[in-house]
Every structure is written in structure tokens, then in C-alpha cells.
């Protein structure tokens, strides 16, 4: 590979074999070298996970008496924010605030009782169903329980 031209024409078969072996050896060495460098860089680049664990948690959304009837509040919970809406005296629903289209945070329209996505005007009812617009799926809903006047959402 690196040998000058003059020595490039071996008369017998043996030097050619040796040459091929040396070429193979240097290529293997360089390959290993590159592999090691790639491994080091790859290990370094793998970003440390900062994601919060959200599954299987009970999240408190405040006292039931603090919610007026028809009021909805955004709970800024890690990577899965959600809305808590008080429908009437007893019923409270919780549903994801992350639009299923391109992950924008939806707004709560108290007058019409719908969730409106500001990005592409996707609309959801308070059961999470898509009313109009581009969202492909319904919003996930979460179970809600009220214990001693405090609202808990089962994520």
C-alpha cells in the first residue's frame, strides 16, 4: 500500500502473500483504531437521561372546593401536563394537555367547554374525543378520585 512503485512487482508468489498480509494487518489495525474512537465518542455522546418518572403516580391537583364549576386548570406535571376540569358538583375529569397531533399544549375554552390546540386548531371535547382538526387520536384521559376534598389524578 505504501511501498513505492519499483518494489511493487514481486517475482515470486511469496512476497505478494507477505505484502497482502501486511496490508491486511495495517487495515485491521486502522479499523480497530477507528472502532475504538467511535466507541469512545458514542459512549460519551449518549445523553444522560433527565426524564422524570411519571407512570403509576398519584398526582394531587388541589382541593375540590378551589375549583369553580366549569373551571379547568392546567397542571404542569413534568413531561405529561394535564387539565383538570370540574364538570359539576361531583364530577371531575383529567385529560392530557398534549395535543396528539404535534405535541403542542392545548388551551381550555371555558365558554364552549372544549380544548383547542393553538397550533393547528384541533378541537377536543372534555372526554378527549377529537371534534375537528388534524389530531389523529383522542386525548388520553386519566382516572380521578376525590379523597377528603382533595383531587388526585392517576397518571
Partner 1 sequence: MSATRPPDPNGRASWVDWLERRINLSEIFSFLTHFGFVITPVDTSRPVREVLREVAETPVPKYASGPRVLGLLTAILFALEAVTGVLLAYYYKPTPEAAFESTRTIVRDLPAGWFLHQMHAWGAWLLAAVVVIRLLRLFWDGLYRAPREVLWWTAVAMVWLVLQLDFTGRLLTWDAHSYWATVRGMEVVFALPIAGPILAFLLGGRVVNDDVLIRFYALHVMVLPTFYAACVYFTFATLRRVGLSPAPEGRPEATTTFRDHLYTMLMLTVGLFGVLVTLATVLPFRFLSAADPYVTPGGVRPPWYMLAPYATLQWLPVPAWL
Interface residues with partner 1 (CB under 8 A)? 1-2, 4-5, 30, 33, 40-41, 43-46, 48
Residue number, 40 or 69, with CB nearest to partner 1: 40
Tell me the closest approach of the beta carbon of residue 8 to partner 1, in angstroms: 11
Residue number, 48 or 56, with CB nearest to partner 1: 48
Tell me the closest approach of the beta carbon of residue 17 to partner 1, in angstroms: 20
Query: How far is CA 138 from each of CA 11, 94, 154, 155, rounded to the nearest angstrom?
Result: 77, 13, 18, 16
Residue number, 2 or 12, with CB nearest to partner 1: 2
Residue number, 24 or 149, with CB nearest to partner 1: 24
Tell me the closest approach of the beta carbon of residue 25 to partner 1, in angstroms: 13
Tell me the closest approach of the beta carbon of residue 1 to partner 1, in angstroms: 6
Strand-by-strand arrangement of the 72-75 sheet: 58-63, 150-154, 141-147, 92-96, 82-86, 72-75
- Hey, how many other C-beta atoms are within 10 angstroms of the C-beta on 114? 16
Residue number, 30 or 69, with CB nearest to partner 1: 30
Tell me the closest approach of the beta carbon of residue 30 to partner 1, in angstroms: 7
Amino acid at each position: 500500500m505504501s511501498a513505492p512503485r519499483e518494489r511493487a512487482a514481486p517475482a515470486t508468489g511469496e512476497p505478494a502473500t507477505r505484502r497482502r498480509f501486511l496490508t491486511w494487518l495495517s487495515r485491521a489495525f486502522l479499523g480497530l483504531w477507528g472502532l475504538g474512537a467511535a466507541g469512545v465518542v458514542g459512549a460519551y455522546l449518549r445523553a444522560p437521561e433527565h426524564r422524570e418518572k411519571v407512570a403509576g403516580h398519584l398526582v394531587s391537583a388541589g382541593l375540590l372546593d378551589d375549583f369553580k364549576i366549569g373551571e379547568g386548570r392546567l397542571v404542569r406535571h413534568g413531561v405529561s401536563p394535564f387539565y383538570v376540569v370540574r364538570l359539576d358538583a361531583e364530577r371531575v375529569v383529567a385529560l392530557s394537555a398534549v395535543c396528539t397531533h404535534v405535541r403542542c399544549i392545548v388551551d381550555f375554552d371555558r365558554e364552549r367547554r372544549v380544548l383547542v390546540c393553538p397550533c393547528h386548531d384541533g378541537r377536543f371535547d372534555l372526554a378527549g374525543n377529537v371534534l375537528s382538526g388534524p389530531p389523529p387520536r383522542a386525548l388520553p384521559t386519566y382516572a380521578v378520585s376525590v379523597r377528603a376534598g382533595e383531587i388526585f389524578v392517576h397518571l
